């Protein structure tokens, strides 16, 4: 900290001001970095502007407790598009995936448990403990979902076939019609190859509640509940909400090294995904700038504190530590005031001309891509009265609700689950995958959801626990571990308290720890420290409107041609030169990179027009 240099910050700021860029990207989340990599790789001069001191957005690694590196928001990888990994050569740029097998462990209070993973024989053996019929049906269920994923796969890597907006030239409208014809012809060929029965089953999955889909296949409560968590993860929906079946499908669309549906840890945490993409972008010439003003004010405050402490050698170390905390608080407060991008600059003709920084600096470019949420982009960064009223209204009333809280823990030992005889100090198969806590039946998940509907955090939260340090030895000290808790359901504004109240926050955290204690006695005593991000924290820290991890709900009314709003699904916006490239666009949330890649291709297509 003491060795920070002013020169890097000054040079970065100077470079922004002295050049008119071909394209600017707002936000260095993984999608913004992806867009920058493709644009720079095509020869455009590109600058990425990041508000925070670290790149990655929600795909970020932060050392919040000395020696422990947390994937602070997103925590697993599977959805990152294979085309992107190959084209940007992310392996060469540092991306290393750690496959999990088994991938799922669900402990039960009655002493039973369920392990699932990519091993077909393991799955059959484990499910047979509860139901032989379910064990026989499980492989067929997986194969059907795989066939549906193959149908959806081409849709993810291409922009939606949006109708050309009024004012387009005859040639553009003709090209648009030809592209749409080719798109729908290809999709229909693939759909018809499924056959009528599977096609009807596919529509049933899209429209039905996850509970209906899973009840049709299985009879075992714990199996259905384990699978149902994929249908409600990150949403406010219940397992009984129509359309939740699609979210179930969305979370099995991914792969790891060609193996469908396999989720993995990333060595170094999820920030390594963003770092690998950033390395590819920089290699192609992209210029990535984090919060320059924060670095400058932080260095000045640190020097003042250093001088002060040298003049007062008697000051106790705890006071020095408290001073450092206060300095960090001042820095974050300064960062909030001096956000990198204050406003988009729009010409009288309705075209983008660049961005205005909070200190008044103008950064010029005829093309701006926003990786921020649609709400933040259009209702906070775009000047008033520059967008059509119907467009603004649609964005204003889009669903950004969230029920997600992320808790990151440093622990001095692994949790020991009393339901299984696999317990030993070292990691066992129960520690490798996602551990489902409080998810023994779909009714239990629904009750947790109903608490949030009634305005209070779940009395028995649904918790997905992961322990990446079991496979990744780079993120924690020897013998100690990093634990991620993805918790539902927690309303943005609880009716019985406030997330701004430290006692209220602590009470909820302890409720989560106590629930885990029921399955793994002694868990609470292993905690060294923790970091908790409630929905308002996710909004403030990471920029996720409403705390929604997908940049907006993933309901059927908010997907494909309807994302972010009807008529504007092709990454273009009503303002010429302004594009969206984040998860608020097609194909939606998760660490996919598809929105950034698709948006970059649309920009390049527009740049090539005569």
pLDDT for residue 177 is more than 60: yes
Give the pLDDT of residue 401. Answer: 93
Phi/psi for 309 (5° steps) reads: -70, -30
Cα–Cα distance list, 87 to 96, 229, 285, 372, 526 (Å): 16, 32, 16, 24, 43
Q: Is 606 helix (H, G, I), strand (E, B) or coil?
A: helix
Residue 320 parent element (H or E): helix 317-337
Give the pLDDT of residue 609. Answer: 62
The span from the first CA to the last CA of the chain, in angstroms, equals 50
Is the Cβ–Cβ distance between 309 and 320 less than 8 Å? Answer: yes
Under the banding of pLDDT at 50, 70 and 90, the label for residue 425 is low
Average pLDDT over the chain reads: 87
Q: Is 436 helix (H, G, I), strand (E, B) or coil?
A: strand
* Domain range annotation of the chain: 18-62+79-95+269-291+339-398+552-607, 293-337
Give the pLDDT of residue 422. Answer: 57
| Interatomic CA distance for residues 348 and 203, integer angstroms | 46
Q: Name which CATH class applies to 18-62+79-95+269-291+339-398+552-607.
A: alpha beta
Give the pLDDT of residue 37. Answer: 98
pLDDT tens digit sequence for 519-576: 999 999 999 999 999 999 999 999 999 999 999 999 889 999 999 999 999 999 999 9
Nearest to 472 by CA among 298, 313, 325, 271: 271
pLDDT tens digit sequence for 452-496: 999 999 999 999 999 999 999 999 999 999 999 999 999 999 999
Give the pLDDT of residue 331. Answer: 47
The H-assigned helical ranges of 458-593 are 502-519, 535-537
Residue in the structure block whose two tokens are 């891509």: 369
pLDDT for residue 253 is more than 90: no
Nearest to 250 by CA among 595, 509, 598, 590: 590
Give the pLDDT of residue 461. Answer: 97
Cα–Cα distance list, 308 to 3, 6, 100, 301, 324 (Å): 17, 20, 50, 10, 12
Provide the percentage of residues in the chain whose pLDDT is more than 70.
Answer: 88
- Report, as an integer, the average pLDDT of 192-199: 87
Beta-bridge partners for 246? none
Instruction: Write out 14-70 in H/E/C secondary structure.
Output: HHHHCCCCCEEEECCEHHHHHHHHHHHHCCCCEEEECCCCCCECCCCEEEEECCEEE
- Report, as an integer, the average pLDDT of 581-604: 96
| Interatomic CA distance for residues 560 and 571, integer angstroms | 11
pLDDT for residue 131 is more than 90: yes
pLDDT tens digit sequence for 259-309: 777 899 999 999 999 999 999 999 999 999 987 433 333 344 444 444 433
Q: Which two tokens stand for residue 107?
A: 């402990």
């Amino acid at each position: 900290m003491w060795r920070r240099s002013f020169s890097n910050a000054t040079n970065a700021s100077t470079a922004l001001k002295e050049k008119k860029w071909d394209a600017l990207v707002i936000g260095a989340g993984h999608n913004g970095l992806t867009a920058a990599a493709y644009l720079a790789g095509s020869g455009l001069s590109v600058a990425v502007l990041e508000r925070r001191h670290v790149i990655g957005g929600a795909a970020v690694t932060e050392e919040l407790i000395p020696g422990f590196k947390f994937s602070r928001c997103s925590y697993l990888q599977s959805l990152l598009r294979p085309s992107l990994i190959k084209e940007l050569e992310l392996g060469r740029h540092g991306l290393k995936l750690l496959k999990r097998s088994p991938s799922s462990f669900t402990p039960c209070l009655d002493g039973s448990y369920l392990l699932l993973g990519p091993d077909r024989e393991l799955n059959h053996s484990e499910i047979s403990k509860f139901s032989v019929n379910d064990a026989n049906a499980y492989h067929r269920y997986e194969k059907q979902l795989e066939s549906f994923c193959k149908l959806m796969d081409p849709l993810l890597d291409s922009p939606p076939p949006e109708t050309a907006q009024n004012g387009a030239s005859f040639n553009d409208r003709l090209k648009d019609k030809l592209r749409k014809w080719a798109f729908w012809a290809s999709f229909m060929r693939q759909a018809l190859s499924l056959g009528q029965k599977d096609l009807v089953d596919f529509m049933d999955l899209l429209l039905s509640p996850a509970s209906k889909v899973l009840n049709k296949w299985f009879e075992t409560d714990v199996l259905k509940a384990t699978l149902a968590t994929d249908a409600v993860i990150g949403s406010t929906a219940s397992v009984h909400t129509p359309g939740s079946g699609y979210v179930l499908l969305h979370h099995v669309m991914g792969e790891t090294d060609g193996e469908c549906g396999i989720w993995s840890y990333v060595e170094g945490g999820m920030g390594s995904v963003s770092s690998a993409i950033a390395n590819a972008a920089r290699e192609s010439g992209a210029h990535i700038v984090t919060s320059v003003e924060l670095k400058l004010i932080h260095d000045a405050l640190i020097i003042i504190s250093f001088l002060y402490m040298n003049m007062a050698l008697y000051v106790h170390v705890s006071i020095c530590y408290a001073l450092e905390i206060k300095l960090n608080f001042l820095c974050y407060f300064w960062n909030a005031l001096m956000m990198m991008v204050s406003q988009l600059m729009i010409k009288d003709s309705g075209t983008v001309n660049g961005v205005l920084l909070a200190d008044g600096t103008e950064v010029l470019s005829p093309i701006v891509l926003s990786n921020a949420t649609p709400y933040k982009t259009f209702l906070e960064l775009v000047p008033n009265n520059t967008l059509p009223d119907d467009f603004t209204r649609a964005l204003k009333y889009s669903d950004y609700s969230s029920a997600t809280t992320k808790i990151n823990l440093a622990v001095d030992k692994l949790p020991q689950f009393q339901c299984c005889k696999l317990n030993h100090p070292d990691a066992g198969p129960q520690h490798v995958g996602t551990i489902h806590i409080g998810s023994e039946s779909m009714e239990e998940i629904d009750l947790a959801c109903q608490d949030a509907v009634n305005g209070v955090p779940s009395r028995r939260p649904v918790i997905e626990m992961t322990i990446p340090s079991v496979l990744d030895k780079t993120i924690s000290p020897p013998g100690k571990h990093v634990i991620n808790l993805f918790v539902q359901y927690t309303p943005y504004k609880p009716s019985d308290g406030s997330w701004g109240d430290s006692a209220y926050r602590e009470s909820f955290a302890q409720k989560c720890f106590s629930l885990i204690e029921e399955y793994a006695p002694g868990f609470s005593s292993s905690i060294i420290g923790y970091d908790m991000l409630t929905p308002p924290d996710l909004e403030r820290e990471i920029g996720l409107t409403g705390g929604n991890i997908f940049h907006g709900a993933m309901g059927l009314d908010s997907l494909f041609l309807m994302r972010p709003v009807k008529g504007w699904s092709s990454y273009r916006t009503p303002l010429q030169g302004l594009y969206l490239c984040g998860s608020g666009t097609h194909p939606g949330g998760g660490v996919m990179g598809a929105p950034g890649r698709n948006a970059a291709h649309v920009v390049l297509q527009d740049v090539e027009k005569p």
